[in-house]
Amino acid sequence: MKSLRIKNKIQQNVFGLSFVPTTHQGVLGGELTFGGVNSQKYIGKLNWVDVNKGCLNSCWGFEQTIKYGEQVIQPYSAGVVDSGTALIYVTSEAFQLYSGALPGSKMDKATGLLEIPEESIGAMKPLFFIINGVSYELTPNAQLWPRTSNTILGGKANAYYSVVSSHDKLGHSFIMGYPFLLRFYTAYNVSNSKIGFAATSSTYADVK
């Protein structure tokens, strides 16, 4: 980015990131925009937030509150957004509250993911990520690993697995990984140290 800006290849030290949910291997649904954002990839306006000071020059961190339904499972805390992380990670305390609200759910040894029994799927509630006063809803469908890809992980073909997990050595209070980015557009202002968030046409899409 810095090199492109110096060479006047881009007008702004900004890049945008867009992904689209897919159930087919080899189908490309991502877009990286250098020098600005692609306004056709998101709905409404970008919600710009300051990058957490502890993350400057090393990661894209920010603060948020996480709710499952109406219950706050993770109070206002700092974490990061990372396109290279396959899951959404929260604190162990938040994960216990989340999994505890899904009767019969248990960790699956083969995949390392939370397996949710079919009878609990219909009662799942949305996850809300409250960023800079704006609530971003991750629907129950968006909380599930695509079942067509279960066997890739070594899982059972007809099982339901959650993309929400926790890790003892997280290093951050949360990591908003790929499953979040599939549903929301993000933009990164390098010069001003800000991250922008917006809903997309995929935010409420159902993926089987």
Note the pLDDT of residue 1. Answer: 56
pLDDT above 90: residue 201 = yes
Can you list the domains of the chain with their CATH numbers? 2-199 (2.40.70.10)
* Two tokens, residue 100: 């505890």
Q: d(Cα 42, Cα 98) in Å, to the nearest integer? A: 29
Residues 121-154 pLDDT 10s: 999 999 999 999 999 999 999 999 999 999 999 9
Mean pLDDT of 50-54: 87
* Residue 41 main-chain phi, psi, to 5 deg: -95, -5
Q: What SS3 string covers 23-89?
A: CCCCCCCCEEEECCCCHHHCEEEEEEEECCHHHCCCCCEEEEEEEECCEEEEEEEEEEECCCCCCEE
Does the model's pTM come out above 0.85? yes
H or E, element range at 100: helix 92-100
